[in-house]
Each structure stands twice: as C-alpha cells, then as structure tokens.
Chains A and B, each alone.
Chain A
Amino acid sequence: MKTAILIAMIVLADSAGDVFLTKGMRQVGKISALNPRAILTIGGRVISNRSFLSGIFFMAITFVSFLIVLSWADLSLVFPAKSLVYVLSTLGAKFFLDETVTFQRWTGIVLVCLGVALTSLP
C-alpha cells in the first residue's frame, strides 16, 4: 500500500513535469548549436523559464519519492510501474500541448502500457 501510494505520486508528478518541461523548452527554442557560448546562453534562458522551473519542481518531487521507494522495493518492480507515466504524459501532450497522436502511435503506447503492466507483476 505504501509502495502503491508513492508510485501513484511519482506517476502524477512525473507527467505534470513532462508537460511543463516541454512547454518551457519550446518557449526557449530548438537547441541546435554545440559551441560553449551558445550552450551557456541557452542554458541561462532555460533556467530562467517559469514553465521549465515548474517542470523541475515536479521532477524533484518524483525523484525524492523514487529514492524513498527504492530503499525497500526492487528496481525491476518500481521502474516498470513508474512508467505508467508514459501514457499519462501522452494524454498531457495531446490536451495541453496540442500534439497530434496518430492511431499507430496510440497502438504503440497501448503496447508499452501492457508491457509495463506485465513487467510490474512479480
């Protein structure tokens, strides 16, 4: 039960983090340059972006819960269960980021979800 609650918290916080992060990264713009000065400028813009920072906040919640749950549960149980986030994040991408998700992509995601459920079993 303790494990289930922590995993639910991880999944919710992680997908909220994904959506905010994507929003922030898109506001900053595509990262294409590889020279140090450009990376510094982009890095500066990234860390001062409010959506990105909200994303980081949710990821921090995810990470702390993840560390705590790992102290008693197996990684090969926690990690697959945690990956339910892939489905929730895709819904977030569709509804909050206006991405088109094709039938083939949904099929892939459902397969991933089934796989995740199977890997979560002992």
Chain B
Amino acid sequence: MVTTHDPCRQRASLRKTIVVLILSIFAQATGNVFLSMKMKEIGNNNWSTFFAQAVDSPTVWFGTALLIIGFIFFAAALSWADLSFVVPAVSAEVVVNVLFANYFLDEVVSLTRWTGVLFISLGVILVLRSERQRVNRESKEIPTSGGR
C-alpha cells in the first residue's frame, strides 16, 4: 500500500475519514430505526408471509437503502484508512442507535445501558486520539520539504 507522508495531506485524510464515517454512522442508525419499526409490526408469527411482507414494505426498502448508503461510505473509508481504526470508530454508531431507539422507538434505556454508552464514547475518543498521534508521529518521522 502506498502511503503519502505529506503531513498536510495526512491530516486532511484523517479529517476526510472522520467526515465519511460520521455520514456512514447516521445513515445506518436512521436505517436501523426504520427497519426495527417495520419488522416489529410484521412480527414472526407467520413464516410464510414474513419475507413477503418485508419485501412488500416501502419502510423496509427505505431502511435498507439507508443501510446501503452507510455501507458505501464505510467501504470507501476502508480503501484508505486502517480497519483497526475504522471499526472501533464506527462503534460510535451504537451510541447513536441507543439514542435513536430511545427517542424514536420509545425503547426504555436503563442506567446500565447509559453507562455502556459512556464507556463506548470514551473508547472511541481514545481510538481517535491514537489515530491522530499516529498521523503526527508519521509526519514528524519524515522530514518535510517545502510543506504548504
């Protein structure tokens, strides 16, 4: 894999990764809300009509479309960023999902789950810091010639 060692470009690339991942997270979280809403309405009492009903529902299609859009952003980020950065960074989506489930689906979120949300947020902050330090370290290692 070819890596650019231009510090400006590396920082810009980290910014780009973060923006793309935020778009991915929100598309997926919104998609999940729509899917959960409809799938629960359908239920699983009758297996013969279960898939037919799911395929027939515009809500399911819309939710699926949002998941696909989120996935395209995710895959695009993977073409230039580390999987070990992208994957934990995307765990912020759990936080967004719990918030959305609480707000839009009226699911009860206990104190334990809120504590979990806090832990995940701290973890994501650490992972972000580790990536920023890596970018800084790599740009220091390479003597810059005529930076912008």
Chain A: residues with CB nearer than 8 A to chain B? 18-19, 21-22, 25-26, 28-32, 46, 52, 59, 63, 67-68, 70-72, 74-76, 79-80, 83, 85-86, 89-90, 92-94, 97, 99, 101-102, 104-105, 107-122
* Interface check B122, CB cutoff 8 A: yes
24 contacts between A and B (CB under 8 A): A22-B83, A25-B78, A25-B79, A31-B76, A31-B79, A63-B67, A67-B39, A75-B36, A75-B101, A76-B102, A76-B109, A85-B87, A90-B83, A90-B87, A90-B88, A93-B87, A105-B88, A105-B130, A112-B120, A115-B115, A115-B119, A115-B123, A118-B113, A120-B116
Which A residues are in CB contact (< 8 Å) with B135? Answer: none
In angstroms, how far is the closest chain B Cβ from the Cβ of A92?
A: 7
CB–CB A80/B129 < 8 A: no
Judged by DSSP, the binding face of B is: helix
CB–CB A107/B126 < 8 A: yes
CB–CB B80/A116 < 8 A: no
CB–CB B82/A114 < 8 A: no
> Given A70-B36, A90-B87, A115-B115, 13 other A-B contacts at CB below 8 A?
A21-B78, A22-B83, A31-B76, A67-B39, A70-B40, A75-B97, A89-B87, A93-B84, A97-B83, A102-B133, A108-B122, A115-B116, A116-B91
4 residue pairs, one from A and one from B, having the closest CB atoms: A115-B119, A118-B116, A108-B126, A111-B123
CB–CB B83/A70 < 8 A: no
In angstroms, how far is the closest chain B Cβ from the Cβ of A121?
A: 5
In angstroms, how far is the closest chain A Cβ from the Cβ of B134?
A: 7
Interface size range of chain B in the complex: 35 or more
In angstroms, how far is the closest chain B Cβ from the Cβ of A8?
A: 18
B10-54: CB near A (< 8 Å → 1, else 0) gives: 000000000000000000000011011001101110000010001
Q: Within B109-127, which residues are at the interface with A (CB < 8 Å)?
A: 109-110, 112-113, 115-127
Which A residues are in CB contact (< 8 Å) with B130? Answer: 102, 104-105, 108
Chain B: residues with CB nearer than 8 A to chain A? 1, 32-33, 35-36, 39-40, 42-44, 50, 54, 67, 71, 75-76, 78-80, 82-85, 87-88, 90-91, 93-94, 97-98, 101-102, 105, 107, 109-110, 112-113, 115-127, 129-131, 133-134
Taken together as a complex, chains A and B put the C-alpha atoms of A116 and B112 apart, in Å, by: 11
Which residue of A46, A80, A107 contacts B116 across the interface (Cβ within 8 Å)?
A: A80
Taken together as a complex, chains A and B put the C-alpha atoms of A74 and B50 apart, in Å, by: 18
